[in-house]
A and B are shown apart, each in its own frame.
Chain A
Amino acid sequence: MKKFVSLKSIPAYLPIVNIDTDMIIPKQFLKTIKRTGLGKNLFHEMRYDNDGNIIKDFILNKKPFDVSKILIAGNNFGCGSSREHAPWALLDFGITCVISSSYADIFYNNCFKNGILPIILNEEKIKELSEYSKRQEEIEINLNDEKIIYGNNEISFKIEPFKKKCLLEGLDDIALSLEKSSNINEFEKKLEFSKPWIFND
């Protein structure tokens, strides 16, 4: 997994609440289990019309937001289906930081497994940042200091220390689990004895 330390980009603001994973990446693109190539279909139904032409008004189709690495969005971002394709699509488009006042639980956790930083700010701060995004100026995300720096201002955010460490060092769950494989084997041996029914006979 790619490390996330700091990031500078012009943020794109999508003023929609309850953005669900079907909006982020519609189901017709789920037939792949590759993490790459989904970016061109990110927010597919908002980005393209019925004939596949680009909808020019959509924020991520407009310069300079078409290369934004930071997405600001309404609350409960990532609700709906638990598909990991949602963070994959964001990542493949180039978005490595999402800022919202709240997230759906599974999406939120999936971000950390893919090197994406989901920042939680209160509605007031979201308003402030979204206003600032109209200036089309770069803002800076500094994970180490837990700060968003824009213009002469900065906003602090909080993040669970372990999740922060994983992002900073690029550690994913599988690599972390495999470090403990001897404990896992030991546990499974005990389980075979105490709960034999879960090992299908």
Chain B
Amino acid sequence: MTSKDVILQIIGKIGTAGGTGCVIEYAGSVISNLSVEQRMTICNMSIEGGARAGLIQPDEKIFNYLKGRPMSPKNENWNKALEYWNSLKTDNDAKFDKEINLNGEDIAPMVTWGTSPEDVVTINGKIPNPDNEKNEDKKNSINRSLKYMGLKPDVKVQDIKIDKVFIGSCTNGRIEDLREAAQILKNKKKAAHVHGMVVPGSGLVKEQAEQEGLDKIFIESGFEWREPGCSMCLAMNADKLKPQERCASTSNRNFEGRQGRGGRTHLVSPGMAAAAAIAGNLDDVRKYRN
């Protein structure tokens, strides 16, 4: 289970309007055990849950992460900042407008099937059937999404063939994300029909990945190793899906046309994107972990 699965499950539960008017604070043992970069993925996708922002109370992990970074305070300013940041703990008796509890053990690898980030299903699940939906608006919305996505109700998620894999974006383009994908792809080849690209989130991430030799793992498995940028997260440049092409993507949005007109996006974690590249269809990353 990765932080992408956590946030996709949360959005699936609260809906894309669930956080409207709120800032979401994430807490609990699952969250505090996550690394800083994994936490960023969760906070980043708070917007997809309708919130203005997402936050996690600062702890030693955060302070260690920030220390010595290019834009971090230095010397005397660092000590002053640290003292202040240490005061930013959530009060034990803090009251929240809404509280949602999830059990970490129940969180499986998640995939989106539709055209909204709330359209989530576990990798072992099936495409929903609009006939099971009583609310007329929701039924129409499911039908519209299925039509756009070229999917039939009740199809097994793992039977969905993909054309492209995109690993990158502000949601999942950090060094830990690239490590997670590289670990799955090491000594393996992507499926022949799949086109895969890895786009580091920044110049520093690219540099570090190359120092760690991750670029070679990606290239050897058949991926393109690209310059940092937004790339196919939103298809503003030439990196886009053709109509009806299907993509396993580590980005944050699966709206109609987001990755190119008529393109079909399935949001997944970096590990799941790597697994999909190897299998040629959406697949359970847990089969590929060593």
Contact = CB atoms under 8 A, between A and B. Distances in A.
Contacts of B47: 82
Given A106-B52, A197-B73, A201-B74, A20 B20 contact: no
B63 interface: no
A104 B17 contact: yes
**Range of interface residues on chain A?**
20 to 34
B80 A197 contact: yes
A105 B48 CA distance: 11
Contacts of A18: 16, 116, 141
A28 B80 CA distance: 44
Contacts of B234: 22, 27, 81
Interface string A156-194: 000000000000000000000000000000000000000
**Range of interface residues on chain B?**
35 or more
Contacts of B258: 22, 27
A72 to B, nearest CB: 14
Interface string B109-121: 0000000100000
B255 interface: yes
Contacts of A76: 15-17, 20, 50
B77 A79 contact: no
B96 interface: no
B80 A80 contact: no
Interface string A44-83: 0100001000000000000000000000001110011110
A49 B61 CA distance: 50
A80 B233 CA distance: 13
B94 interface: no
Contact of A74 (B15, B48, B80, B137): B137
Nearest to A46: B256
